[in-house]
Structure formats: structure tokens, C-alpha cells
Amino acid sequence: AQKVTQAQTEISVVEKEDVTLDCVYETRDTTYYLFWYKQPPSGELVFLIRRNSFDEQNEISGRYSWNFQKSTSSFNFTITASQVVDSAVYFCALSEASNFGNEKLTFGTGTRLTIIP
């Protein structure tokens, strides 16, 4: 069975600080996908990134970066120079790719990030 663990329930940082959100996953599959979603106070789930298990290159998108380490089954998310608009709940999720067409997501419990102005 798949499992995603986000051990940090809540994080508060002062604006402009860097912050890293941790994500650890468990799966028996060799092929899988990892995701991060953002849920702002308005409630919608916003897609941030999708990474497949064969691509361990780190990715950077503006102030966001992701560190995928298969050896430790982790897919951590760093926000550099945080801003108040980054305040949200962030979810890490895992999708199996072993059965093509069955891409249901297993979510972690989320990390509530508060950026203090």
C-alpha cells in the first residue's frame, strides 16, 4: 500500500525567510509519480509540480524548488524568500503508474504554512 507522510503539521516563518516542507513516501512500485499541491485559504487545490520516479533531477521554478531523493524516499519542497501569498496548506501526493490509467492520488496530511509579515 502507498503512504505519504508530511510530519510537519504547521510551520510559521517570517516573510523573506526560506522554508522547506518535508515529504516522505512509501510504495512498492518502481514506477510512480510524486506531486505537490497548494491549497490557499480559498480552498482550491492548485497543482505545483509532478515528478516521475525515474527523474531525480532537482527542479527550480522561480522561488520554488524541489529535491527528490529516491534513496531516502523523500520529495521535499523549498520556498525561497517566502511571501505572505505563500501562506497555504501544502499537500504532497503519490500516484502509482504500474496500472496505466489508474492514477489515483494518495495524499499526505498536509503542512499548513503561515508567512508572518
Partner 1 sequence: DSGVTQTPKHLITATGQRVTLRCSPRSGDLSVYWYQQSLDQGLQFLIQYYNGEERAKGNILERFSAQQFPDLHSELNLSSLELGDSALYFCASSEQGYTIYFGEGSWLTVV
Residues that bind partner 1 (CB under 8 A): 35, 37, 42-47, 50, 91, 95, 97, 100-107, 109-110
* Closest CA relative to residue 111, chosen from 8, 15, 35: 8
Minimum separation from the CB atom of position 71 to partner 1 (A) = 25
* Cα angle value 14/22/61 (rounded, 5°): 70
* Closest CA relative to residue 92, chosen from 1, 20, 5: 5
Q: How far is CA 19 from CA 32, 47, 70, in A?
A: 26, 19, 21
Q: Which residue number, 13 or 48, has a Cβ lying nearer to partner 1? A: 48
Q: Which residue number, 71 or 102, has a Cβ lying nearer to partner 1? A: 102
Minimum separation from the CB atom of position 30 to partner 1 (A) = 16
Minimum separation from the CB atom of position 50 to partner 1 (A) = 5
Q: Which residue number, 46 or 60, has a Cβ lying nearer to partner 1? A: 46
